[in-house]
Amino acid sequence: MRWNRITTVTAVSAAVALSLVACGGPKASSGGSGGGSSAATPEFDAANNKIFNPSDKKGGTLRMAITEKWDSTDPGDTYYGLSWNLVRNYVRPLMTFKSAPGKEGAKVVPDLAEAPGVPTDDAKTWTYKIRKGVKFEDGTEVKAKDVMYGVARSLDKTTLPNGPTYFNDFLVDVPKDYSVAKDPQMKQLSKAITTPDDYTIVFHLNKTFAGFDYFAQLPSTAPVPQAKDTGTKYQLHPIATGPYKFESNDANKGFTLIRNDQYDASTDPDTGRKALPDKINVAYNVNGADIDNRLIAGDLDVDIAGTGVQAETQAKVLADPKLKAHTDSVLSTRLNFTVFNSEVKPFDNVDCRKAVLYAADHEGYQRAYGGPFGGDIATNLMPPSVAGAEKFDDYGFEADKNGNPTKAKEALTACGMPNGFSTNIAYRSDRPKEKAVAESLQQSLAKVGIKLTPKGFPTGDYTKLYAGKPDYAKANGLGMIVYSWGADWPDGFGFLSQIVDSRVIRAAGGNTNLGIRIPEVDTLIDKALATTDDAERNKIWVDVDKKVMEQAGVLPGIWAKGLLYRPDTLANVFSNDGQNMYDYASIGLAQK
């Protein structure tokens, strides 16, 4: 009897716990897609550059999640591919990538603009006519001055630091510390942007640039009503012009988009965006393994990062044919590579660089990223998904996947170091795949006498304080730098300009060109910028690629792929060469 009370307390506790579990059971999805089964049969790569389970049916809540927040939901302050993909749902830039599968999705088409830009003055002046009848979410009609204001505010890199600086760099006479808050009439931009009437906007460039339509697709060309601009707080509620608007937004937790009743699809004939879900929920800071598990369980629809499942999930998914049938191995416009720092000896000598190219184990590089599902062995810089890219293999990477020690020794002899040399290789210490690259190269290069010492640095400061800061990299002998680069957009300029043009290297750090200084490359880039014919321009970008490889500026590793998981809850899902992940402007939900 003396144990009655203890027993009772224990029993009650257990009963409470069990009843909580029992009353729960599999709870109905809070998302609302209902997890309806798709009519189409899942197959591997079924949504890779083609539409899986085509649908025009609207409705449901699309549930998206990501492991950490990206820079911003403000269209004038964002520089993430996933963000540029998603932003098309709530704002309309002048131009945009067409929402269509495959290569069609890499075409830049008019969105807010009526037609592509009209170049004059040797492509130094670009004129866009904007559509009539496009409205903000409050019902006000969009005018050219709203587009000008959107671009103007994005030039203030102290308030909105995250976006690209193309407009700062290319527009005529933009003051270096420009702030639209200090220049509300935008008088200081009078030479850069003009709006002759309510529906015309003209951009004036400081140099010829034939690919300006790509600039016009940047989210910062989306209109912003000046009276509604709240500076750093605008990210919480960007004023919508797209098919959705913000219902709620917490900068640390996530946001919800609902339909924008002021969006008129008849003003949007070219983009192909379908806007199928009634609501879109985005959650930040969800554990990566949890995201994968929820995708597999059908409790989540999209991993918004679009880079593929976690490494441990990939092994599990590929081993199970049923799970594998729900995946797409999507080629990105990303190159994982190792740069030679031309300021660190002996990499100022082209033959020493070539020795590394010949000695490297390319299959080992690929293995470090998860094997063939992590990407294809890269033989040059530009991934095949870049418009006009050409694959070539001057060093025989595909024939000698594990390296060619004989040619490596010949190159070492030519560089005056027949017995090899020692150098450091930098990598991001919290990226196990990059560490594996450094170790793989350490092993393969040791066979020809090149001794590598791996040195890890934190990701957050990698380009700003260490590998990407020229004086630090030189002083610390970082001869080889493991890196990864995804194109801003899939053409030669978008992919190559920021990683091979020596003039973008800044002493302050934060560089993405980590050591390539080849004058002929800079000259070719200038030539490409001035060439208005698309085919001819693309050929020049291939020449840039060839020149960098001829000079052995980098060791290409892999053209990255992502293994995307496609739950049965999705409809009208496809990847394309514009986004290199699922296209978020047309993705829908399978209806029950």
Partner 1 sequence: MFAYLVRRVIGAVLLLFIVTAVTFAIFFLVPRLGGATADDLAGRYVGKSAGQEQIHNTAVRLGFTDPLYVQYGRFVKGLVVGQEYNYGTGTEHCPAPCFGYSFLTQQPVWPDLVSRIPVTASLAGGAAFIWLITGVGTGIISALRRGSVLDRSLMSVALAGVSLPIFFTGLLSLSIFSYSLGWTQQGGVNPLDETNPLWWAYDLILPWVTLAFLYAAAYARLTRAGMLETMNEDFVRTARAKGLTERTVVLRHGLRSALTPILTIFGLDLGLLMGGAILTETTFSLPGIGQYAVIALRANDLPKVLGVTLVAAFFIVLANLVVDLLYAVVDPRVRIS
Range 19-58, binding partner 1 (CB under 8 A): 20-21, 23-27, 30
Q: Could you check whether the bond before residue 26 is cis, i.e. omega within 30 degrees of 0?
A: no
**Binding mask of the shown chain, residues 470 to 509, with x at each position contacting partner 1 by CB under 8 A:** ----------------------------x-------xxxx
Q: Which residue has the tokens 């598990």?
A: 293
C-beta of 393: minimal distance to partner 1 in Å? 31
> Among candidates 546, 556, 493, 485, which has minimal Cα distance to 332?
485
Query: In 3-state terms, what secondary structure has residue 470?
Result: helix
Q: Does 164 bind partner 1 (CB under 8 A)?
A: yes
Residue 167: CB partners within 8 Å, gap ≥ 6? 151, 154, 155, 174, 215, 218, 220
Q: Does 6 bind partner 1 (CB under 8 A)?
A: yes
Q: Does 315 bind partner 1 (CB under 8 A)?
A: no
What's the chain's Rg over C-alpha atoms? 26
29 burial level (CB within 10 Å; 0-12, 13-18, 19+): middle
Question: Applying CB under 8 A, which part among 174-182, 200-208, 436-444, 576-584 lies near partner 1?
Answer: 174-182
Question: Applying CB under 8 A, which part among 35-43, 99-107, 279-287, 530-538 lies near partner 1?
Answer: 279-287
Side chain identity at residue 86, one-letter code: L
C-beta of 19: minimal distance to partner 1 in Å? 9
Task: Single out the residue of 15, 17, 265, 446 in contact with partner 1 (rule: CB under 8 A).
Answer: 17
Task: Single out the residue of 146, 156, 361, 543 in contact with partner 1 (rule: CB under 8 A).
Answer: 156
Task: Single out the residue of 87, 113, 123, 286 in contact with partner 1 (rule: CB under 8 A).
Answer: 286
Query: What distance in Å separates the CA atoms of residue 437 and residue 568, rounded to the nearest whole number?
Result: 35
Q: Does 161 bind partner 1 (CB under 8 A)?
A: yes
Q: Are strands 422-428 and 451-457 parallel, antiparallel or unpaired?
A: parallel
Q: Does 510 bind partner 1 (CB under 8 A)?
A: yes
Identify the H or E element spanning 214: helix 212-216
Identify the H or E element spanning 279: strand 279-283
Q: Does 446 bind partner 1 (CB under 8 A)?
A: no
Output the six-digit token pair for 47: 């949504």
Task: Single out the residue of 311, 377, 417, 465 in contact with partner 1 (rule: CB under 8 A).
Answer: 465
- Nearest residue (CB) to partner 1, 296 versus 573: 296
- Nearest residue (CB) to partner 1, 442 versus 512: 512
62 in Cβ contact with 258 (< 8 Å): no
Question: Applying CB under 8 A, which part among 176-184, 190-198, 414-422, 551-559 lies near partner 1?
Answer: 176-184
Question: Applying CB under 8 A, which part among 2-10, 198-206, 263-271, 409-417 lies near partner 1?
Answer: 2-10
- Nearest residue (CB) to partner 1, 233 versus 451: 233
Q: Does 248 bind partner 1 (CB under 8 A)?
A: no
Residue 19: CB partners within 8 Å, gap ≥ 6? none
Total interface residues for partner 1 by CB under 8 A: 72
Q: Does 523 bind partner 1 (CB under 8 A)?
A: no
Q: Does 539 bind partner 1 (CB under 8 A)?
A: no
Task: Single out the residue of 57, 191, 207, 233 in contact with partner 1 (rule: CB under 8 A).
Answer: 233
Output the six-digit token pair for 283: 């959650």
A 10 A CB-CB count for 477 gives: 16
Q: Does 190 bind partner 1 (CB under 8 A)?
A: no
- Nearest residue (CB) to partner 1, 148 versus 357: 148
Q: Does 162 bind partner 1 (CB under 8 A)?
A: yes
Q: Does 287 bind partner 1 (CB under 8 A)?
A: yes
Query: In 3-state terms, what secondary structure has residue 27?
Result: coil
467 in Cβ contact with 340 (< 8 Å): no
Q: Taking the C-alpha atoms of 299, 305, 311 and 316 in order, what is their torsion angle to the nearest 10 degrees?
A: 30
Binders of partner 1 in range 67-106 (CB under 8 A): 68-69, 71-72, 79
Q: Does 122 bind partner 1 (CB under 8 A)?
A: no
- Nearest residue (CB) to partner 1, 235 versus 380: 235
26 in Cβ contact with 582 (< 8 Å): no
DSSP letter at 102 equals: B
Question: Applying CB under 8 A, which part among 211-219, 295-303, 360-368, 433-441 lies near partner 1?
Answer: 295-303
Task: Single out the residue of 133, 139, 187, 252 in contact with partner 1 (rule: CB under 8 A).
Answer: 252
Task: Single out the residue of 50, 259, 345, 464 in contact with partner 1 (rule: CB under 8 A).
Answer: 464
> Among candidates 427, 438, 439, which has minimal Cα distance to 466?
427
C-beta of 327: minimal distance to partner 1 in Å? 18
**CB neighbour burial string for 481-497, b if at least 16 within 10 angstroms, e if fewer:** bbbbbbbbbbbbbbbbb
Query: In 3-state terms, what secondary structure has residue 256?
Result: strand
| Secondary structure in 3-state letters for 516-557 | CCCHHHHHHHHHHHCCCCHHHHHHHHHHHHHHHHHCCCEEEE
Q: Does 187 bind partner 1 (CB under 8 A)?
A: no
Query: What distance in Å separates the CA atoms of residue 353 and residue 337, rounded to the nearest whole number?
Result: 14
Q: Does 285 bind partner 1 (CB under 8 A)?
A: yes
DSSP letter at 394 equals: T
Q: Does 158 bind partner 1 (CB under 8 A)?
A: yes
C-beta of 30: minimal distance to partner 1 in Å? 7
> Among candidates 476, 570, 2, which has minimal Cα distance to 277?
570
Question: Applying CB under 8 A, which part among 63-71, 142-150, 371-379, 583-591 lies near partner 1?
Answer: 63-71
Q: Does 429 bind partner 1 (CB under 8 A)?
A: no
Question: Residue 374: how many CA atoms within 13 Å on its side-chain side?
Answer: 23
- Nearest residue (CB) to partner 1, 165 versus 200: 165
Q: Does 379 bind partner 1 (CB under 8 A)?
A: no
- Distance between the two ends of the chain, CA-based, in angstroms? 57
Task: Single out the residue of 127, 140, 208, 512 in contact with partner 1 (rule: CB under 8 A).
Answer: 512
Binders of partner 1 in range 380-419 (CB under 8 A): none
Task: Single out the residue of 98, 124, 273, 294 in contact with partner 1 (rule: CB under 8 A).
Answer: 294
Query: In 3-state terms, what secondary structure has residue 209?
Result: coil
